[in-house]
Amino acid sequence: MNAKELKTLFEQVRGGKISPDDAVQKLRHMPFEDLGFAKVDHHRSLRVGMPEVIFGPGKRPAHLAEIFARLAERGNNVLATRVAEDQVRAVRKKLRKAEHNDVARTLVLRQKSEKTGKGTVAIVCAGTSDVPVAEEAAVTAELMGNEISRIYDVGVAGIHRLLAHKSELSEARVLIVCAGMEGALPSVVGGLVGVPVIAVPTSVGYGASFGGLTALLGMMNSCASNVTVVNIDNGFGAAYVASMINRL
Amino acid sequence: MNAKELKTLFEQVRGGKISPDDAVQKLRHMPFEDLGFAKVDHHRSLRVGMPEVIFGPGKRPAHLAEIFARLAERGNNVLATRVAEDQVRAVRKKLRKAEHNDVARTLVLRQKSEKTGKGTVAIVCAGTSDVPVAEEAAVTAELMGNEISRIYDVGVAGIHRLLAHKSELSEARVLIVCAGMEGALPSVVGGLVGVPVIAVPTSVGYGASFGGLTALLGMMNSCASNVTVVNIDNGFGAAYVASMINRL
Amino acid sequence: MNAKELKTLFEQVRGGKISPDDAVQKLRHMPFEDLGFAKVDHHRSLRVGMPEVIFGPGKRPAHLAEIFARLAERGNNVLATRVAEDQVRAVRKKLRKAEHNDVARTLVLRQKSEKTGKGTVAIVCAGTSDVPVAEEAAVTAELMGNEISRIYDVGVAGIHRLLAHKSELSEARVLIVCAGMEGALPSVVGGLVGVPVIAVPTSVGYGASFGGLTALLGMMNSCASNVTVVNIDNGFGAAYVASMINRL
Amino acid sequence: MNAKELKTLFEQVRGGKISPDDAVQKLRHMPFEDLGFAKVDHHRSLRVGMPEVIFGPGKRPAHLAEIFARLAERGNNVLATRVAEDQVRAVRKKLRKAEHNDVARTLVLRQKSEKTGKGTVAIVCAGTSDVPVAEEAAVTAELMGNEISRIYDVGVAGIHRLLAHKSELSEARVLIVCAGMEGALPSVVGGLVGVPVIAVPTSVGYGASFGGLTALLGMMNSCASNVTVVNIDNGFGAAYVASMINRL
Amino acid sequence: MNAKELKTLFEQVRGGKISPDDAVQKLRHMPFEDLGFAKVDHHRSLRVGMPEVIFGPGKRPAHLAEIFARLAERGNNVLATRVAEDQVRAVRKKLRKAEHNDVARTLVLRQKSEKTGKGTVAIVCAGTSDVPVAEEAAVTAELMGNEISRIYDVGVAGIHRLLAHKSELSEARVLIVCAGMEGALPSVVGGLVGVPVIAVPTSVGYGASFGGLTALLGMMNSCASNVTVVNIDNGFGAAYVASMINRL
Amino acid sequence: MNAKELKTLFEQVRGGKISPDDAVQKLRHMPFEDLGFAKVDHHRSLRVGMPEVIFGPGKRPAHLAEIFARLAERGNNVLATRVAEDQVRAVRKKLRKAEHNDVARTLVLRQKSEKTGKGTVAIVCAGTSDVPVAEEAAVTAELMGNEISRIYDVGVAGIHRLLAHKSELSEARVLIVCAGMEGALPSVVGGLVGVPVIAVPTSVGYGASFGGLTALLGMMNSCASNVTVVNIDNGFGAAYVASMINRL
Amino acid sequence: MNAKELKTLFEQVRGGKISPDDAVQKLRHMPFEDLGFAKVDHHRSLRVGMPEVIFGPGKRPAHLAEIFARLAERGNNVLATRVAEDQVRAVRKKLRKAEHNDVARTLVLRQKSEKTGKGTVAIVCAGTSDVPVAEEAAVTAELMGNEISRIYDVGVAGIHRLLAHKSELSEARVLIVCAGMEGALPSVVGGLVGVPVIAVPTSVGYGASFGGLTALLGMMNSCASNVTVVNIDNGFGAAYVASMINRL
Amino acid sequence: MNAKELKTLFEQVRGGKISPDDAVQKLRHMPFEDLGFAKVDHHRSLRVGMPEVIFGPGKRPAHLAEIFARLAERGNNVLATRVAEDQVRAVRKKLRKAEHNDVARTLVLRQKSEKTGKGTVAIVCAGTSDVPVAEEAAVTAELMGNEISRIYDVGVAGIHRLLAHKSELSEARVLIVCAGMEGALPSVVGGLVGVPVIAVPTSVGYGASFGGLTALLGMMNSCASNVTVVNIDNGFGAAYVASMINRL
């Protein structure tokens, strides 16, 4: 059941074709079914009209594959992030069509394809080491129905490389900017555009970068007011919010 | 010069009425004029179509008043945040019509009034101590052309108070959620709506709240994927991004 | 010697059947016997009427097995936590009946079974990744004589899943709530019940979760006043305190 | 409406004297009334059968006095913590009988007096500087219907002073232990008793005590398993949980 | 005794006009004389050929004035930093010609004036709030014999304002870059020039800027390799090193 | 294209041999060429007249080798830092002449050899465990055209060992000082010389050394004013800045 | 009762002049008497043969004066540290002979004077700002019966000033070394002597000195093995331990 | 050359048997000889009269063995700490008599045996997991000529186990107390004895113990004034200082 079907349900209620009580019952019994080890929440998908997402780390391959398959039965797109090799194998034994992107560390089952985003989501990253995070964002944003553009390896110490992409930056309706080390890129990009910038600190760096904490703090203190921040290496989360914004 | 005038300039260039070189010159000389102690950047306003904002703390009253007045001459709305009493007096000696909100600690000069936001921005806060931050967001969002709705004092330890506002939450096109202490409210709100949530950690709390750091970290780790975070107590920044989103 | 026997001793003293001095001697010589590498303290068990517990990490399999066996001779229940595979094998070579729970990472020898808890201890966790910690708590609480109820995978971003369990929550006499990431669940649960909530931050999360520190700080700052906190991933400690409370 | 009245309501429902729907309505409309600046939640009091508590810091004297008075009208006990002089004056202008304890920094209006606690709550503190936090706990615990015993100035560097109180410690049904600096007292006390110990880190200390963080971390790592921890200086919270436990 | 005189001494030794032993004695007895409360070290001045500097905070006005005067007697330039009003008055009562700069919070006695720097030291700052730190650097660098150029209020969120100064940046022989908040400016400047950049984190910012720690960490992780960092707000130290470099 | 060629270009422009527009075109098209996975920026080399440097960690051997080879074609010196064994093999399969230094963990291709440094760069380290960082600095500084001198194993707890090298220290035009643990060496060295000292905190130490953070903080707070700091273990960065200074 | 009297007591027991039981009673009733607000522990003095010490901060003047007077009655030396002006006045109203040292912030009542230390305690400090901490140590060490020598203002950036005192350093039987900022002095001093060095980090510094934390961490990581550390600014504690050592 | 020989040298100078200059030369040329990779400093041994110590981690087995052998030639005792298996083998191939203690992770070559300590050094530890650190201290202290007594597994949660050892504690001339987790043991021990206590935080613990940081901070804040602290797990350093004290 997706957002459309839900709306249909409400219209049936409004039109008197189904009683409110029955509607409540229908909704109440629908949300989750028990797999024994985890409650699969179809509600979330329903509420935001997006594919259910499975966070890979710590899940046993067999469990992950079972959750993946159960969700796939509903006909929605399914996305698993940060997947390991053995998880990939377990899922693909069940679902041949699941696509693995080894840079982004994602596993995608595409069952629907609808462009719900109204504009382009630009995905920008500072260095080549930030690419895996940027690609997680790219795969996610694309699966969620967005046109995307990639602008990679444009760190602030070579400001002209970034400025060479100014028109692409300006054309985006929302931007995702991934950077490690000092995390300065979102501030510069934020100053160049008039739309929301979602900053993703990456764990790239060494010494006093503290696994991305320095970048995170830098981004929280951005002098550009159109910057908001998600968790370290959270390319998925950035793409999720960007998708929500791009549908508005 | 606002975004419209800028577009006009570009169309004149395209139409051959003005040479590119002259256009470049016009733009180059326009952006900032030197007040001696600070460069007032009209460009920013131009790029994002929003009023220029002055951050009060640390500025001498006379300087703040001069910057405020200079910006006011352009005919735009002007907003000063975190203003102290003596700054307020200095500005209002020059500009009688500047409105002071002592809860939000803002000073506003309204010279234009246009609803540019397409939907409602809901401003939610956890406790009464979070109200100043929420009000800074409310004043800002309203000045930037948004309908706003306030949902205050709905902390997670009394979850039914929050749920009683579920329909207002659902009607918002973008939400700003302010919370101190453990900073849990954005996660719960994020799970209730299908639109972007901008979380503002506040410095409310004591002991191990560390001036808002605990709330900030909690929000960065939100289990709701539609949550992004701005700096501690940064009600202004949250409203700024919310306004950008609400115009899309 | 357990709490009952101790009480008997004191009654013999009161009844004049044994002199206070002899009683003192008896107690003084009883407490610990030297195994060479560790002093096994039967006193603690005696004082709180609970099984002795062995913390596995860092102990050599042979030593752990010897301590385990020595304690078992007394006839009490014995619990080892965070046990590794080689430790399990070493113990079970000596004690066939020791039960291994590989999710909870516990090893249990049940020699007595008495329900000392007066009500139910509810064990709640936010996500599937928190289950190992929750299970450590469940195994411990059960061994310590409590009825338990498990309410798993009810994170705050899907608040209705939690509310669907409201009656189970209300029936508990004491609750253990395990959560990683932002650690918000205890605050919400705390607001729903009128009994003590013991919060266990877990090391689940990534990026700025800092191995559970973010959850710990969040729980320390809980806006629900009936929440107290134990160490990160300390399911055992939570169950220990819950058992003490449930006997009162 | 207190817990008893609520139970009556449910019994009326069970007895068929009132329909469930009406009961729901009654409950739904009862919980909070709008004072304009804060929602007073009578629900919380109802759920846990304790007086409503007002956290003083940051509240304007007039607002605090109004909230205080509104709550007083219901006939419950009312407690304000961390009150400043001007807040005290504002409240006492309205409510003469409110008692101010300047060590505990509390303001209490006692309208009911019922011993709901089954045993004694012992309140222990390490040094004389910890007394304000201990007293906040003492005032709170007493108002919540507990017998209390005070054991003050028994820091671990003079272990015999603590041991001299061993019988009082053993008689308590639950203990609150306040300590700053290295925060070691709860571990020692925890080892001496067989009941729950609620540890309160205090901000007492200097240098590397970091406002209580060192004590907090020490208590989280207590080697005594019957210790749980509340926030720094949170005497109120400790007493609140202790009261809940003491009623069981 | 300055560097020249010292060199003369060595040449006298080489020329046999003074025995090494006598030279050693001369040097040994020269370095510091006892004022009772502090040892004034003329050696340092001698070693690096720069004026002695007095750090104001924590020094009693009378003591500071006495140290200042004692140093002045030698004929060198004297600089006091972070001076408070009462310290300024105390010094100027003794030394009328000491110049006070209230933005830079410096007190300068100029007794020699020699351009020892070979090129220009550019002093760059991100926002108007960073000006006091930048001015401390400017006053210091000038007193130490350098041409300076000021490039203020050129934060990275308005990158074109910075780029408008590209030629001034390129002309500098060494640059000092002051920035608070995310501290990104040194990285961008470092990428634009081929000479050393000394980064000064400032305590400007709020929330998660932690008094300059965020800027400091950002600068330590700069992706531009020609950036080194000094302590928070340490405009003096930056100018000191810049002066050393500019003499080479 | 190196700095000289660039200067030639500008002189051609000044001399009218090439039009400014063509010069701009020439520069614009030169900077980076797309390898698919990373933009190789020849500009940086050009701007500072130094070899391009490749940071090894995280790069796949094949990619690293391709970048290395592409840069080598230009005829410049090439340096890869923190290289792993498999990266070394991949590069040397293509470029036999690349020299591997396994202490410094560097890979160097020397195609030009020109002494551009005017004096000596002294590289000082505290203990034998700091040698790898010091050697990274030494290899880098030498490749960048500097005379270097090594003063190793002269920690502050044996101050006479350091003082025995006083003349070598004094002869350096710029110094790089590497130290872990308490990071005190730069302060002592800084007090002995009158030239810039670049401090490199190393991750050497244990316990409360926190991977170099303690050394970093100590160096930031150095009481010697001629000390600036680079990131933990950043021998390369220190040598880079030292080279820039030594050319002035 | 001091250590001698205690020994007498034990000898009386051994000699049969007093029964063990009576001795126990005598000891049991002696240790502390209740002043209402604090338990004065004469035991501690007895155990270590040193004057009782009162830590001033947070104590009300009247209370402090009463504790001070009560202790004075026993005939021992009394020391109050970190005393404020109003505390000084309150004590001296009762005890004229109490001496106030306003640099050390101590109040001393000298009733006995016995040199119990066998050698000299050298007190060393890095800068003039560290003097108050050093003086607290000096006053304490002297009152506890030690010869002391002061070696002040010998920071590591001017190593020759320190080395000029080498013989005084070598003559000490134990050293106390106070330093703020990078806290390097104890390492250097530790390397120069063959006796114990007690390091006292001071809160002197700014920026990234974090109120003495940087110095503390540096000292914990000292490369000199004869260094131990006490809390930030804890001159008293350092002198206390030094006195214990000097009596051995 | 040891301390005695050194004294002899000085006496020869005093007696006119050797000129001061020759003595200086003798000393100057003696201190270290170059092994190529590290300067072996015999001076340190000489200054404090203790064996040279080699810190194992990070040293290649062959190098460590060579340093070990070189030192052994002088006839002193030699100690290597934190040695790994391969280092042990490398050393023992050269020096059969070197003794390996696998709990303490030490390697000892005993060539002299002289009791230089005047009393007993008690080594106390809280739990069995702290034993390796305690044993490192024990091996070191014994090698340095002290009688030692071991009091292990006496954590504060079982205070009676500690008190059972009170007489052993009282007989020590100096104590080393090792504890992880909350690090409370030194405070309790410090209160029981009148001699110096050297606290060693261990990295034992989990969750919020942060590798020993919590214990370290707790010990720094000890309420017992006779406690000083060394680095985390630094059993060697504690024994080194204890030995120095015990010789006084």
For residue E128, what is the DSSP state? G
Alpha carbon distances (Å) from B75 to B32, B78, B110, B111, D242: 16, 9, 9, 6, 61
Residue G120 sits at φ, ψ, to 5 deg, of -100, 140
Residue H215 sits at φ, ψ, to 5 deg, of -65, -40
* F241 interfacial to chain E (CB closer than 8 Å): yes
Judge whether residue H96 has pLDDT over 70.
yes
- pLDDT of amino acid D32: 38
* H230 interfacial to chain G (CB closer than 8 Å): yes
How confident is the model over B20-35, as pLDDT tens digits?
A: 555 554 544 343 334 4
Residue from D62, D136, D145 nearest D110 by CA: D145
Are β-strands E174-179 and E197-201 bridged in parallel, bridged antiparallel, or unpaired?
parallel
- pLDDT of amino acid F7: 55
* H39 interfacial to chain F (CB closer than 8 Å): yes
From first to last of its 248 residues, chain F has per-residue pLDDT tens of 434 444 565 566 666 676 655 555 454 434 333 344 444 444 444 445 577 889 898 888 999 999 999 999 888 899 999 999 999 999 999 999 999 999 999 999 999 888 889 999 999 999 989 999 999 999 999 999 999 999 999 999 989 889 989 889 999 999 999 999 999 999 999 999 989 999 999 999 888 999 999 999 999 999 999 999 999 999 999 999 999 999 99
Q: Which chains does chain E touch, 3 or more C-beta pairs < 8 A?
A: A, B, F, G
Q: Taking CB atoms and an 8 Å cut-off, how many pairs form between chains B and E?
A: 42
- pLDDT of amino acid F235: 97
Judge whether residue B167 has pLDDT over 80.
yes
Considering only the beta carbons, identify the residue of E37, E41, E233 that sits closest to G207: E233
> Which of F125, F128, F165 should one mutate to test binding to chain H, selecting the residue with the greatest count of H CBs within 10 A?
F128
How far D188 CA sits from the closest chain B CA (Å)? 23
Contact yes or no for H226 and G244 at CB 8 A: yes
Percentage of chain B beyond pLDDT 90 is 65
- For H:147-186, CB contacts with C below 8 A are 153-154, 157-158, 160-161
> Which of H225, H236, H241 should one mutate to test binding to chain G, selecting the residue with the greatest count of G CBs within 10 A?
H225
HEC letters along C48-91:
HCCCEEEECCCCCHHHHHHHHHHHHHCCCCEEEECCCHHHHHHH
Residue showing tokens 């790029």: B47
Instruction: For E138-191, give the DSSP string.
Output: HHHHHHTT-EEEEE-S--GGGHHHHHTTHHHHHH-SEEEEEE-TT--HHHHHHH
Considering only the beta carbons, identify the residue of C49, C53, C198 that sits closest to D194: C49
Determine the residue type at F204.
Answer: V
Tell me what the mean pLDDT of segment C152-175 comes to.
92
Contact yes or no for G38 and D158 at CB 8 A: no
How far D176 CA sits from the closest chain G CA (Å)? 19
- Residue G193: closest CA among chain H residues belongs to which residue? H47
- Residue H159: closest CA among chain D residues belongs to which residue? D188
Q: Is E248 helix (H, G, I), strand (E, B) or coil?
A: coil
Judge whether residue G24 has pLDDT over 80.
no
How far E192 CA sits from the closest chain A CA (Å)? 7
How confident is the model over E151-186, as pLDDT tens digits?
A: 999 999 989 889 989 889 999 999 999 999 999 999
> Which of E128, E181, E203, E210 should one mutate to test binding to chain B, selecting the residue with the greatest count of B CBs within 10 A?
E128
- pLDDT of amino acid E15: 66
Do F and H touch (≥3 CB pairs < 8 Å)?
Answer: yes
Judge whether residue C63 has pLDDT over 80.
yes
Low-confidence ranges of chain A (pLDDT < 50): 1-4, 6, 25, 27-47
* DSSP H stretches of helix in chain G: 3-14, 20-29, 42-48, 61-72, 85-94, 131-143, 159-163, 166-171, 185-192, 213-220, 235-247
d(Cα G242, Cα G137) in Å, to the nearest integer?
9
- For C:83-142, CB contacts with A below 8 A are 128-129, 131
Residue from B141, B64, B147, B149 nearest B104 by CA: B141
Contact yes or no for C158 and A43 at CB 8 A: yes
Q: Which chains does chain B touch, 3 or more C-beta pairs < 8 A?
A: A, C, D, E
How far D158 CA sits from the closest chain C CA (Å)? 23
CA angle H37, H38, H39 (to 5 degrees): 140
Contact yes or no for B220 and A231 at CB 8 A: yes
- pLDDT of amino acid F50: 76
Alpha carbon distances (Å) from B199 to A173, A202, C21, C158: 21, 20, 66, 18
- Residue D198: closest CA among chain C residues belongs to which residue? C228
- Residue E37: closest CA among chain G residues belongs to which residue? G128
Determine the residue type at A158.
Answer: G
How far B220 CA sits from the closest chain A CA (Å)? 5
Alpha carbon D183 to its chain's center: 20
Contact yes or no for C156 and B188 at CB 8 A: yes
Judge whether residue C224 has pLDDT over 70.
yes
Contact yes or no for C190 and B157 at CB 8 A: yes
Considering only the beta carbons, identify the residue of G228, G231, G237 that sits closest to H198: G228
- Residue F48: closest CA among chain E residues belongs to which residue? E194
How far A210 CA sits from the closest chain F CA (Å)? 10
Alpha carbon E27 to its chain's center: 26
State whether the Cα torsion A150-A156-A158-A163 is positive or negative.
positive
How confident is the model over E91-123, as pLDDT tens digits?
A: 999 999 999 999 999 999 999 888 889 999 999
Considering only the beta carbons, identify the residue of C154, C161, C207 that sits closest to A234: C207
How confident is the model over F175-224, as pLDDT tens digits?
A: 999 999 999 999 999 999 989 999 999 999 888 999 999 999 999 999 99
* G232 interfacial to chain D (CB closer than 8 Å): yes
How far C134 CA sits from the closest chain D CA (Å)? 17
- pLDDT of amino acid A13: 62
Q: Which chains does chain H touch, 3 or more C-beta pairs < 8 A?
A: C, D, F, G
G165 pLDDT band (50/70/90 cuts)? very high
Residue F157 sits at φ, ψ, to 5 deg, of -75, -10
How confident is the model over A125-141, as pLDDT tens digits?
A: 999 899 999 999 999 99
Are β-strands G120-125 and G99-101 bridged in parallel, bridged antiparallel, or unpaired?
unpaired
Region for residue E58 given its phi and psi (left: phi exceeds 0; alpha: psi -120 to 50; beta: otherwise): left
Contact yes or no for F58 and A129 at CB 8 A: yes
A101 within 8 A of A69, measured Cβ to Cβ: no
Contact yes or no for E194 and F240 at CB 8 A: no
Considering only the beta carbons, identify the residue of F154, F157, F207 that sits closest to H234: F207
* E237 interfacial to chain F (CB closer than 8 Å): yes
Contact yes or no for E248 and F173 at CB 8 A: yes
Determine the residue type at G196.
Answer: P
- pLDDT of amino acid B242: 97
Contact yes or no for E59 and G158 at CB 8 A: no
- Residue E30: closest CA among chain G residues belongs to which residue? G161
* B223 interfacial to chain C (CB closer than 8 Å): yes
Contact yes or no for H157 and D219 at CB 8 A: no
